[in-house]
A and B are shown apart, each in its own frame.
Chain A
């Protein structure tokens, strides 16, 4: 049995039966990383000694009678989440040496559950990007075709999961950054409802949009991970104080009578034909399984992009003001105070980050606030209202995750707007604060994965998971892996 290929759920079964130990599983994952990391480049920081120590502790806990789903399971964490005593860079040079003195709540919950943390995965700088090419360190390669991007900004996590370099991972999703890389890498990527998972320790990009999400090999694993990280946190005043249901129990495998909405605005010109074909075939599959397919309309879909690219950069311009050379390790400039600010930020931030800070600053500035930021916030109300209305008619909404499959490294880096367009199908969900996941639904002629998005209303994770699971179990896309390294 190839240990790193296991899902979290499979690993748990073998661990519980005493067939494997957490140490063996972790060693196998570390060996796998050794074998393929030069090609994939998913990790910014690896923590093998700490991981093995955690694995030994997990084995001890299991020997003492504990048996929980993540005990001893090796996972990866996107480098946007604070990990105590482990360097956290956000993919930026401005945090090159930053070592957080605390764990993000989502990380702390994984650790309390006995998970083993293998390291920190690559990300577009401060989560700003759709390809992981904006990482100040290096670009991660898509394991299905190393000349292509894994998507972004959680490209490192998505690539690590599909390459079996971990059994699951945390990512973050502000405009699609968990779902889009999941789609491009052929894994499951789930964005919870805004407020479902604590943002404490999630280094802020856009505070009204950011959510911690999960990347997993299948829907069952995604439900297991969500179960552990979800829930109210007194340290995040935007976290919802509502009970957490049993997510794995929602995976009933049946969608008889479930109303599935298909939004006509999500099938656009310029979309890759194979993507449209695969998604429509998936909808037909759901109908075969007993779902009731209904066409719905989300009329303001075409405005989501400008709304997002005004609201998110505006919030980012405020959140990134703290990186000024005063507190977070990196300081540049050999003049006075002002020189320190400008130099540190001018040289410490990469081009996309600077572009968005400028866009946000402009949108908020005197004379332009009404026309840009306020306008965008008003249209955001309309985007959210579209979903509220649609969810009165249907239980879930199903759509493509990304208009194309993985593009080539370097293909979109000259035109920022082109890059932004790859998020058209994911942005609205963050603006509305609803939940959803991307699941694999096919491959194109170049053997590149295609993703199906299943969206649920706010706090509707159970129905989204249920529909996604039923579809997944009626297909075998989720069992496919890229051929990498020494014969996987």
Chain B
């Protein structure tokens, strides 16, 4: 298979996804098959071809640096799993 079990675990780690043993095995198989199929891209010579990140003509869209009303803090925090003193509350970040 294209992907090893270790690689699957590494990708899950990068993506912060907790996977069961069954899921790891399933994804290893499925992702390997998918990546195998994608090898066909190597048939094309793209040495001189620029990548397309967006179909739009590339530009930075700017606006004047003026403070504006956005959303009310209470509205944003209404979806918070846990909030305190106007902040999102999470488990300790530092030991």
Q: Which chain A residues have a beta carbon within 8 Å of chain B's beta carbons?
A: 97-99, 101-102, 194-195, 208, 234, 237-238, 240, 300, 302-303, 306-307, 309-310, 317, 321, 324-331, 335-343, 345-347, 349, 351, 354-355, 357-359, 361-362, 365, 371-372, 374-382, 384, 416-417, 431-433, 458
Contacts and interface: CB of A to CB of B under 8 A. Distances in A.
A208 B15 contact: no
Given A234-B63, A381-B50, A327 B88 contact: yes
Contacts of B18: 342-343, 345-347
A308 to B, nearest CB: 10
B46 A310 contact: no
Given A99-B79, A345-B18, A351-B23, 5 more contacts: A194-B56, A358-B17, A416-B30, A417-B37, A433-B55
Given A329-B81, A340-B91, A375-B46, A238 B41 contact: no
Nearest to A357: B15
B67 interface: no
B11 A309 contact: no
Nearest to A376: B41
Contact of B38 (A306, A331, A336): A306
A436 to B, nearest CB: 14
A101 B76 contact: yes
A309 B78 CA distance: 35
A102 B71 contact: yes
Determine chain B's interface SS by DSSP, over half rule: loop
Interface of B: 3, 7-8, 11-12, 14-19, 23, 26-27, 30-31, 33-35, 37-38, 40-42, 44, 46, 49-56, 61, 63, 71-72, 75-76, 78-82, 88, 90-93
Contact of A303 (B14, B40, B76, B88): B40
A34 B15 CA distance: 42
Contact of A355 (B30, B61, B75, B76): B30
Contacts of B26: 351
A337 B90 contact: yes
19 contacts: A101-B72, A195-B56, A302-B40, A326-B81, A329-B80, A331-B81, A340-B90, A341-B16, A346-B19, A351-B23, A358-B11, A362-B11, A372-B35, A378-B46, A382-B44, A382-B49, A416-B30, A417-B33, A432-B55
A373 to B, nearest CB: 9
A337 to B, nearest CB: 5
Given A101-B76, A306-B37, A379-B44, A354 B52 contact: no
Given A327-B80, A337-B91, A417-B34, A458 B15 contact: no
A342 B3 CA distance: 21
A362 B78 CA distance: 34
A336 B91 contact: yes
Contacts of B7: 362
A317 B15 contact: yes
A431 B54 CA distance: 9
A361 B91 contact: no
Contact of B90 (A326, A351, A382, A431): A326
Nearest to A302: B40
A337 B71 contact: no
Contacts of A302: 40
Contacts of B30: 355, 416
B31 A358 contact: yes
A238 B78 contact: no
